Amino acid sequence: MKYFAIVLMSLSFSAFSQDSETTIDDSSAVRATIDQLFQGMKNGDSTLVAAVFHPEIQMMSTFTDEEGNPRSHKGSAAEFKNAVGTPHDQVWDERISNVRIQIDGNLAQAWMDYSFYLDDTFSHCGVNAIQLFKTNEGWKMVHLADTRRRSDCN
């Protein structure tokens, strides 16, 4: 009985370490997916952006209007990809920080601060909240929401 308990404990430690390794690998893959989105934006490459979007992605931006009222805007992935891929004079540089990723099975969520620049000129800041689904092709974004403000940015 004593040996059985030792074997059982050893197996559970082994299973835990595999889950931990999987979580680390998945966390790195989620981060790579996020980084690909922002690299695609910076490069003006809609193909890079499209590759990280799930076909049914939903997008939303939240902000406060000029009168101080809370507002939300439902975005279109097709319009976003088109805007990224349409040549524009300025580089869209979204710089992220404080990225926090949580994963359970095939669902991940990431929360991060960002500052958005047109070339080197600050435009706005906020937070991105992204939910991702692990498909057979890898992690795909299913929901992308952000806040937008021009003040209280660090």
Q: Where are the domains of the chain?
A: 2-147
Q: Secondary structure of the chain in the HEC alphabet? A: CHHHHHHHHHHHHHHHHHHHHHHHHHHHHHHHHHHHHHHHHHHCCHHHHHHHEEEEEEEEEEEECCCCCEEEEEECHHHHHHHHHCCCCCCEEEEEEEEEEEEECCEEEEEEEEEEEECCEEEEEEEEEEEEEEECCEEEEEEEEEECECCCCC
- pLDDT(15) > 50: no
**pLDDT tens string 120-138:** 999 999 999 999 999 999 9
**pLDDT tens string 56-111:** 999 999 999 999 999 999 999 999 999 999 999 999 999 999 999 999 999 999 99
What would the CATH number be for the domain defined by 2-147?
Answer: 3.10.450.50
Q: What's the pTM? A: 0.83
- pLDDT(139) > 70: yes
